Structure 1
């Protein structure tokens, strides 16, 4: 009898260990940036992974270098990024240790904008507009990729402009005020963004190709991630969020004062047919 009890106890412990290991294998540590393009698509993927039986723990980063270091060390399992241009340098340094898991969205674009009724349509015409704005381009946070690209454009097109460092919030306020007063302004913007949807502005053409073409979002992971769990990879690969939907989620957050989580929940409830298709695809 004692031997039987020992056997039952050992079997129970083994079963508990197996369940524990399986539970650990089901946990996915997701890295993201709290930005208006990356955060919503990360949240959509999180909801779908959870729908398919995985537990997802999200860590927010503020800087690409820290995010890629965390991914390389295994502090997070997956990270969404635009590795062709935006985070190309970090990807190049670490790509031997990392892998592309799947595409997530496509269409990110950044450039110089002016009011929609401005009498210019191309970056090479900006010098004709310089006197109207005091030769200043309203900038955002110094050191960002977009600020570097605008500086590159000034050199490439020999523009008589100075880029004014600032913040995204300050740029947004100045852009809105200038448009309301029907005053000229030159600044920078990106898509997806609620600002590109709300404000009547136009991206200037870039005949010299200083600004990157529309970019793709990828899920990236430490090498071997896909091979470890083929189903997990198929679940992630089934998710693709159109760039216009990302813009719409941000617009809802800005216009209605909801959180991004609430905006994603609304999008989710309005796209149940699409999500059901993702489930079929991931089987």
Structure 2
């Protein structure tokens, strides 16, 4: 894990395009690292828009989950809003918790697992999958390799003795496959998490997990680099106060799925329509 994180740190630094760490950045420049998951895109763009309205220049940099954690730990990014704890990103946090500051949950009630459309009547538990493996083309449609959800799914395959193969991809390829199968009412099993717009658009159900491989409810946490409170107290305060409900996130996610949608524009729309909630972050 440490060797992987070290390699990813170098990649993150190159992708971030920084000659020095964020801690050395002058003026009002802020860098937020994020993974390109639907919920994280919403949270990142809302905070980015708000900070820009406060006069900051904000750079949002998409990275893999491991590189995102390492970027904040090394000071190459100021913050991230996508730390799923205690399970999904538990391994990253265990390795890097002494090098970052955890500001606590910005969203609660999050969940990960395997999901199928509700029209798949005979599969209600992960334990049911083997008996219906052929119906799913012997595949579980996954997201980006290395994601905590993918690691949990690999463990589920082992612990439940599943005959299905986990297919790597991305949020976009997974939801694309789901859309295609759903349109034709074909069986499909996908790696899933809440909040996500697909639960608002499609009728889906999580499969029961009697072995508890995917854990229970999770929180999505804000993690910042050490020294941010001293260097940028206003930014630190806003990040510390930022909280958003799953319903609000899923509302913006649905907006982002509309044709021609721009995440920056939808974030601004949400801020405009939720002034009281936003004002609470600025107190």
Instruction: Flag whether TM exceeds 0.5 (same fold).
Output: yes
Offset, 1:206: 1.0
1:41 counterpart residue number: 43
1:215 counterpart residue number: 218
Aligned length: 257
Conserved? CA contact 1:28–1:54, under 8 Å: no
Cα distance in 2 for residues equivalent to 1:72 and 1:82: 13
1:106 counterpart residue number: 108
Bigger Rg, structure 1 or 2: 1
2:18 counterpart residue number: none
1:6 counterpart residue number: none
What is the SS of the residue equivalent to 1:255?
coil
1:261 counterpart residue number: 264
Q: Identify the range of structure 1 (107-116 vs 125-134) with the bigger mean alpha-carbon deviation.
A: 125-134
Offset, 1:49: 3.3
Conserved? CA contact 1:153–1:210, under 8 Å: yes
Cα distance in 2 for residues equivalent to 1:205 and 1:153: 12
1:74 and 2:75 equivalent? yes
Conserved? CA contact 1:190–1:196, under 8 Å: no
1:150 and 2:153 equivalent? yes
Cα distance in 1 for residues equivalent to 2:57 and 2:107: 20
Superposed CA RMSD = 2.5
Query: Structure 1 residues 98 and 141, CA, compared in 2 at 3 Å: closer, same or farther?
Result: closer
Structure 1: gaps of 5 or more residues: 1-22
Offset, 1:276: 2.7
1:88 counterpart residue number: 90
- Aligned ranges 1:239-254 → 2 under 5 Å: 239-254=242-257
1:120 and 2:123 equivalent? yes
Cα distance per residue 1:224-248 (max 9 Å; x no partner): 4335565543332222111222122
1:203 and 2:206 equivalent? yes
Cα distance in 2 for residues equivalent to 1:110 and 1:55: 34
